[in-house]
């Protein structure tokens, strides 16, 4: 079965490749340079995941998994939330991971450790080749935001996101460790469970 994972993010692509293994013949949006970007106009992670899964499935004619994920910090009113990838850009503070991390640290500079709780959220949506959403899953990962970046792995906010039980950031984990506990790893594990033995899927969400 050929499956499209609807991302151009190289970090996400690596994670999906690791976690899916040989389950399917996986393609990414970089394999479809003619595809038209689907606007993330939803107000929730689920809405954006469904928009992307449906839109890219219709463009490519492939079964499609789309991810929408981000960081929520309660002390910042849930920001950056669905705008995690565009956090600094929306504030005119640059673009990309380094700018996003710098803005997050600046906005949290006066917060003590006890007030730095955070969670990663991931929603996955699976669409059939006609763009119908058949499955969605949602998972989270709890932690806190550190005072400075640590670690060379991962991407996005990983260098700032500390797992309290281990004292390490997600950028300090091996890929296998991260997949076992991350929001994306848990969401994909749930999606694979829903898919197992029921192909094509009949529709369900968790």
Q: Looking at the annotation, which residues are catalytic?
A: 68
Task: Tell me which DSSP letter residue 95 carries.
Answer: -
**Integer-rounded Cα radius of gyration of the chain:** 17
**Token digits of residue 70:** 């981000």
Cα–Cα distance measured from residue 51 to residue 57, given in angstroms and rounded to the nearest whole number:
10
Q: Is 63 in contact with 44 (CB distance < 8 Å)?
A: no
Under 8 Å between Cβ of 107 and 130: no
- Pairing outcome for strands 133-145 and 161-163: antiparallel
Distance CA 195, CA 191 (A): 6
Burial 116-128 (b: 16+ CB within 10 A, else e): bbbbbbbbbbbbb
DSSP-assigned letter for residue 80: B
Task: State the distance between the two ends of the chain, measured CA to CA, in whole angstroms.
Answer: 24
Rounded Cα gap, residues 77 and 63, in angstroms:
36
């Amino acid at each position: 079965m050929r499956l499209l994972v609807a991302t151009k993010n190289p970090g996400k692509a690596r994670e999906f490749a690791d976690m899916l293994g040989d389950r399917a013949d996986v393609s990414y949006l970089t394999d479809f340079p003619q595809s038209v970007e689907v606007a993330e106009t939803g107000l929730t992670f689920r809405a954006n995941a469904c928009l992307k899964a449906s839109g890219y499935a219709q463009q490519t004619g492939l079964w499609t998994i789309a991810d929408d994920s981000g960081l929520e910090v309660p002390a910042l009113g849930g920001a950056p939330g669905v705008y995690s990838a565009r956090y600094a850009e929306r504030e005119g503070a640059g673009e990309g991971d380094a700018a996003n991390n710098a803005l997050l640290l600046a906005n949290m500079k006066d917060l003590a450790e006890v007030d730095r709780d955070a969670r990663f959220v991931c929603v996955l949506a699976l669409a059939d080749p006609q763009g119908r959403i058949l499955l969605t899953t949602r998972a989270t990962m709890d932690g806190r935001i550190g005072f400075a970046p640590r670690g060379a792995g991962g991407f996005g906010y990983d260098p700032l996101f500390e797992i309290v039980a281990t004292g390490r950031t997600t950028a300090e984990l091996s890929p296998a460790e991260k997949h076992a506990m991350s929001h994306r790893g848990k969401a994909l594990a749930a999606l694979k469970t829903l898919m197992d033995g029921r192909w094509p899927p009949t529709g369900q969400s968790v």
